[in-house]
Structure 1
């Protein structure tokens, strides 16, 4: 009992006497634990936050749509699907609105809505006819009480058949769980093919004869977390059940529509027969000379022509009727739903890479530190063995020392990791998504892993180091280790170099090779830290250069003008005069642009922008098509299309392969890949008009014009943009300068993540260098005392150590730079978004910053070491243990 009490006192006395060592072990473990737990928890916390939102707002599980709409009979069929919980039929339509003809996706709303509930950001939901709530994205363009008018493609005749009124009053701004991305509102059946925002009006303001969609939720998914394999499995089963329930609907719906069409045709035929009889009667009366009583021949003939036209139109529509298609889609079809999960998964992937190096470096430094601690206590270990203490009792001191450091560091690291880092990273992504504040959780699995790894780094290393020492007997342990025998180093054999070195340089070279273990540890530690710092700076370079590359080097045009097709000739002429009248404009190119969806098994569906220039020879003035690695220019041909690089990566495409796409009617097409071009933002497929016609069976509609001009400031762009917007021909205007700056601002959100990496790696570098230098000084205390006795000044003693540190640090920086390039490349592949490709570059200043940071920390460490070296008690250090 007395022995154990004495050992515990000795343990705490050791901690008190070696605070620097204990704190350094604590710091390096805390950094590894906090970084691992924080980055690892960020992904699940992001998913949990989104899942909580989906649960609170009742995001649908499935959505059912049909090309000819859904009837009450179809709704009744869905009620019989096993496990169904909520069924919410509704209406939707795409309309133009506003001065810039923005495309609005309008949904129906009623007070009984339980699925896809809106989050009120300002105002209230519609209560009366003629009221509308707008997407929060439009809060800057509209205010409460403003008027919103719906318009179609040049005419409001068709819209009047769909809506009770076309003029609405804004009563609120909302966010929808269907659109968690800030800027993506999905596809549209009108205009450019993509919606700009969404809105909601009362269901009674729709006049559609059938529902356009039905939202479904199921009982067994209510308590299952979103994005989990269990949820995905349940949704697959329910999708199959819904498809089976509606399997006979297309044929029945087609028969119903044909019956309605035949009924209308029968009525039209009767009208035509009546008109023919009236015309024949008028002709007979004219022949009999009854001109005064005969009907007007022209009026009858006009009526007959109108009846024939109506009949022909009805017959054509009936003949064009096709078997309707039913689409059953899940949440993955909602913009941003899958991409958000991919972002969270990428964070988890990064968490599986960076902390590995943190812990690996921590383990090696801890091994060195604990080994040195055991060697310092060699005399005490021998004494205790001589006094009869067992190996287990002696070893307990070092095991408890390492365990206390690990557990204390783990507790602090977990507290920082689970609270601070997820919040920082989530806030960085908040510029991309419309989501509430992060929901933070405690993860026992990550905590257990962190603690186990931390204990391995310290306690296990302490056990290994002490076990090696305890193999010796008491008499051997009570004597200091014999110094390593001097050996000739390789440099000594190179006589013409060795002869030119002075005494201090020769000593430095010999010391480097004499302590090989410390040399390799220092080089490896510095290299690891440099690689982590360089990767952080490299990520900043890669992310920060996207906007300039995409909207400066690749997209050369200055403004993109989306055009209305259904406008009068006068409007077309006025637009042409507007463009030709601007002397600053140096070129124009008509382009057909369409949005389609790329599809392949095992890959997330991607939105693809088709780009078909009217003049193939002029493309290079507006868009740079080139291979990124070879910088070889690419030419459009009629044999295939040129696809953007990230799209090719996602789908594993090479020249000669085929890309499968579907249009907004879900019709499939195949595109031959002729080349792969450098591109960083969104997915593009470039093709000639002839190749477009061969793939899609129709001529391209040139709905966009690209303009180049010599002016590059807002003082000219803003008035010119106003003129374009005022034109009836123009649907939308997009200046490359503003698009590039907006995208650049979004990418800056990733700077926070890279800053976390840089700061963490820099802190690790400081702790590593401090530990290694401290160990170096402690190991050579007798040697340093000797040279001080021989007359070396304090600065000379410091430089005696510092020369070695500088050389090893420089060597570590060189190796770390090479390893950092590989690590940077790996992290880029895991951290990229589906719609972006980070530029695989590290700018030369980043290498300098990483090296300078490492040397800076080395210098700061040496300042502390210089103070320690000045306080060396020479007589005490040189005392013999005899």
Structure 2
């Protein structure tokens, strides 16, 4: 067959069977767009953040000490290996006199390159007395408004920090240090939480020493944020900075206080070197992107699997319809290669067209739609969308396998017959007794139509299997989407209500004077809103094992084991059985145990900041969903680490109910010099809920995509069913069946198969849901493996809805069956 004739025949076939061509195109398009789109969203999100950080030159490290930083310290930092920029600055927490908000005020210097601001309105400070505000305060204040700094009764102290206390708002900005919209970090004043940041000229500060120094390094400029290479360099640079400031700060302090008091009475300054992960929202943003990538690795497999099977059925039917033409061509002497070419090109065109459109939609719509949902959480510019050749190649290859390979297989099967056989219609299958007929007490009670329906189902086993599998696969995908929504939405209530039962966590200064401690304890005792307290020692160490990523672990040592149950619930997740601490070992959180393969009687290896290694024996495993915890008694802590625990935290239960009361309660707590920071469980739960709600968009994208796939699959299978049985349907139409009766003749089978598929899909959905949860989980989270009963109903109703819609479409087609044409014999 010459090329012109081949292409002419192919395009005639496409036009004649445009519904079939479009259905294959749609299935491939959905699979490719979902895979490419969701797979690209995670990298696009990280690339957008990286571009934002690079443009505004977000620092690599931040250095603080308890005594501040002098010019001598700056010189020490300038000698750190591979340091690029050393940028000292000032900051202080203040109240605003009119709004009673807590501001974290930073110094701004036009000559300093790091941590630049993105201007939303107005301009940056140019003169003394000008201030720019966090754009989350746009609406609370306007350009030209006045702001007065107050110190909650400590105005004299503020005068020692600032040369000016009254400021004019000249702009609203965003900072690369605060990409999260809500969180602005903790504060040592007021309620313990910063409401917003602000920036003034450095010359408006009067502090004798710098409060922090920002660093960037030469070897990180070419690396992207969030990459393992960048994180590894940051660990090394942190060690270098700590080493340079430590045996340096000790020397400087000795020179400073020589002759004033005995050196033995002085404590060396504490050094705090933090990287970008301490900035609110920085690490969580990567976690969200990683979740998307994990989901993108799991779901498209099922999309493509369903697409492959439906494509196989569709193209097989197409080949069967072409038996006469194939037989004629063989009789005329055409070879198998020439005959197969038509079907290969048909499948390839549908596949490539679907892939191209799918890639275009995937790389543009999906990232934008999902990222816009996250924009409610983060202060970042519009997403940067990129084309990913690797994802494109993978998508096209898989799509071609789904269609072109299936076309080749189907064609080869038919071409095994000789020309004389192929030029005659395929003989119908012989009727035979079905299993149900053996149960006579049931079979006798069925009507004629019901018996015909039962026989037809078992007569066309391949179609029955494909319909059940197609419906089951789509139902499973929809159910998994709703199940993810259930699982993500259940974490906050379980973690910050059922497990972490305390209302307030108070971080304490361990080196506070006895008088300050006594005053704090007296206030706690006298405060009527407090219903219970528990002192706890908390310490962060690193869990380590060969072949497993290091994990940050929170050691949790309550001063009273008997009182722990009022504040933290230790229990088995499946049985609900309570766990109790003993002096014979520690209880570890469930996800930590899963990562390290821990069982009661085994050991967990942890490393402290001095790189000393310790082994902790496992006494039990407890339910936990966020972060890793190791619970132990004070006695067991002492036996493992050889020292007494320092109780640096206090848990409080109280009767406070609303946000305003929480703020007032927090202000009372932070008035004490013994209190370092305050956090409320309600705020933590709300913040986690906000993060999880952003994932709801991903689940809805999944649900809508799966629903669209279900519609296409059901339509395709129904169309094939009608096409295969066109002579049968024309016959019963000749026998006097009405149009509605003919439609129900077909759809009794489809409805029954859909119900079977829904039941099977519910079971498959449970397995798929569990698989996706395990795939999408991060190291520090455990997703709740739960699917609520309404989700099963929603998945079933959606599938039945599509089945009903397709029934309406097919009814129109069935009404148009031409009886004479359909019953014509090829003989």
TM-score if structure 2 supplies the norm length? 0.85
Structure 1 segment 186-585 matched on structure 2, within 5 A: 199-204=198-203, 205=205, 207-209=207-209, 212-218=212-218, 221-228=220-227, 231=230, 235=233, 240=236, 250-251=246-247, 253-262=249-258, 264-265=259-260, 311=261, 314-318=262-266, 320-321=267-268, 330-332=275-277, 334-554=279-499, 579-580=527-528
- 8 Å contact kept, 2:190–2:670: no
Structure 1 segment 730-749 matched on structure 2, within 5 A: 740=685, 743-749=688-694
What residue number does 2:87 align with? 89
1:599 aligns with 2:542: yes
Measure, in 1, the Cα distance between the counterparts of 2:41 and 2:23: 27
Measure, in 1, the Cα distance between the counterparts of 2:680 and 2:186: 22
What residue number does 2:712 align with? 767
- 8 Å contact kept, 2:537–2:556: yes
1:803 aligns with 2:748: yes
> CA offsets per residue over residues 591-610 of structure 1, 9 Å max, x none?
34677544234546658595
**1:543 CA displacement:** 2.0
What residue number does 2:532 align with? 589
- 8 Å contact kept, 2:20–2:314: yes
> CA offsets per residue over residues 411-435 of structure 1, 9 Å max, x none?
2211211111111111222233322
**1:519 CA displacement:** 1.6
**1:683 CA displacement:** 5.9
CA shift in 2, pair 1:195/1:646, >3 Å: farther
Measure, in 2, the Cα distance between the counterparts of 1:668 and 1:469: 69
**1:63 CA displacement:** 4.9
> CA offsets per residue over residues 367-393 of structure 1, 9 Å max, x none?
110110011011111222333333333
- 8 Å contact kept, 1:556–1:622: yes
What residue number does 1:109 align with? 108
Out of 872-881 and 434-443, give the one that drifted further: 872-881
- 8 Å contact kept, 1:118–1:175: yes
- 8 Å contact kept, 1:418–1:440: yes
Q: Secondary structure at the match of 1:87?
A: strand
Q: Secondary structure at the match of 2:386?
A: coil
Q: Secondary structure at the match of 2:577?
A: coil
Measure, in 2, the Cα distance between the counterparts of 1:232 and 1:616: 38
1:4 aligns with 2:3: yes
Structure 1 segment 55-204 matched on structure 2, within 5 A: 55-63=54-62, 84=83, 86-91=84-89, 95=93, 97=95, 107-127=106-126, 133=132, 135-136=134-135, 145-149=146-150, 163=161, 165=163, 167=165, 169=167, 171=169, 172-184=171-183, 199-204=198-203
CA shift in 2, pair 1:150/1:815, >3 Å: same
CA shift in 2, pair 1:491/1:817, >3 Å: same
**1:520 CA displacement:** 1.5
**1:843 CA displacement:** 0.6
> CA offsets per residue over residues 544-582 of structure 1, 9 Å max, x none?
2334444554455667788998769899878866x44xx
Measure, in 2, the Cα distance between the counterparts of 1:249 and 1:723: 38
- 8 Å contact kept, 1:194–1:595: no
Out of 645-654 and 452-461, give the one that drifted further: 645-654
- 8 Å contact kept, 1:611–1:684: no
Q: Secondary structure at the match of 2:356?
A: helix
> CA offsets per residue over residues 311-348 of structure 1, 9 Å max, x none?
4xx34335x44xx7877665455454344333222211
Measure, in 1, the Cα distance between the counterparts of 2:804 and 2:542: 55
Measure, in 1, the Cα distance between the counterparts of 2:354 and 2:612: 58
Measure, in 1, the Cα distance between the counterparts of 2:382 and 2:191: 34
- 8 Å contact kept, 1:343–1:831: no
What residue number does 1:697 align with? 644
- 8 Å contact kept, 2:76–2:248: no
Decide which of 654, 657, 669 is 1:707's aligned counterpart: 654
**1:179 CA displacement:** 3.5
Measure, in 2, the Cα distance between the counterparts of 1:831 and 1:552: 24
Q: Secondary structure at the match of 1:472?
A: coil
Measure, in 1, the Cα distance between the counterparts of 2:678 and 2:81: 49
**1:440 CA displacement:** 0.8
CA shift in 2, pair 1:688/1:247, >3 Å: closer
CA shift in 2, pair 1:196/1:722, >3 Å: closer
Measure, in 2, the Cα distance between the counterparts of 1:639 and 1:196: 45
Measure, in 1, the Cα distance between the counterparts of 2:164 and 2:555: 31
CA shift in 2, pair 1:595/1:558, >3 Å: closer
Measure, in 1, the Cα distance between the counterparts of 2:282 and 2:197: 17
Aligned-CA RMSD value: 4.2
CA shift in 2, pair 1:390/1:737, >3 Å: same
**1:455 CA displacement:** 1.8
> CA offsets per residue over residues 830-882 of structure 1, 9 Å max, x none?
33456654322101111111112112211221222222222222222222211
Measure, in 2, the Cα distance between the counterparts of 1:641 and 1:420: 49
CA shift in 2, pair 1:793/1:193, >3 Å: same
Aligned pairs, number: 809
CA shift in 2, pair 1:615/1:70, >3 Å: closer
CA shift in 2, pair 1:574/1:347, >3 Å: closer
Measure, in 2, the Cα distance between the counterparts of 1:70 and 1:241: 18
CA shift in 2, pair 1:728/1:610, >3 Å: same
Out of 689-698 and 591-600, give the one that drifted further: 689-698
Q: Secondary structure at the match of 1:352?
A: helix
Out of 530-539 and 407-416, give the one that drifted further: 407-416
- 8 Å contact kept, 1:97–1:103: yes
- 8 Å contact kept, 1:693–1:700: no
**1:250 CA displacement:** 3.9
Out of 73-82 and 116-125, give the one that drifted further: 73-82
> CA offsets per residue over residues 596-652 of structure 1, 9 Å max, x none?
54423454665859584x765555455544322111233455666655545555666
- 8 Å contact kept, 1:567–1:728: no
Q: Secondary structure at the match of 2:470?
A: helix
- 8 Å contact kept, 1:593–1:609: no
Out of 727-736 and 677-686, give the one that drifted further: 727-736
What residue number does 1:47 align with? 46
Measure, in 2, the Cα distance between the counterparts of 1:795 and 1:768: 23
Measure, in 1, the Cα distance between the counterparts of 2:237 and 2:490: 48
Q: Secondary structure at the match of 2:247?
A: helix
What residue number does 1:275 align with? none
- 8 Å contact kept, 2:758–2:796: yes
Segments of 5+ residues of structure 1 without an aligned counterpart are 266-310
**1:133 CA displacement:** 4.8
Out of 545-554 and 32-41, give the one that drifted further: 545-554
CA shift in 2, pair 1:869/1:541, >3 Å: same
**1:246 CA displacement:** 8.3
Measure, in 2, the Cα distance between the counterparts of 1:316 and 1:512: 91
**1:96 CA displacement:** 6.4
TM-score if structure 1 supplies the norm length? 0.80
What residue number does 1:281 align with? none
Measure, in 1, the Cα distance between the counterparts of 2:271 and 2:653: 38
Measure, in 1, the Cα distance between the counterparts of 2:80 and 2:479: 56
Q: Secondary structure at the match of 1:90?
A: strand
> CA offsets per residue over residues 745-804 of structure 1, 9 Å max, x none?
543222211111111101111111111111111112222222333333333322222222
What residue number does 2:21 align with? 22
**1:721 CA displacement:** 6.0
Out of 53-62 and 764-773, give the one that drifted further: 53-62
CA shift in 2, pair 1:726/1:327, >3 Å: closer
Bigger-Rg structure (1/2): 1
What residue number does 2:32 align with? 33
CA shift in 2, pair 1:547/1:142, >3 Å: farther
- 8 Å contact kept, 2:88–2:210: no
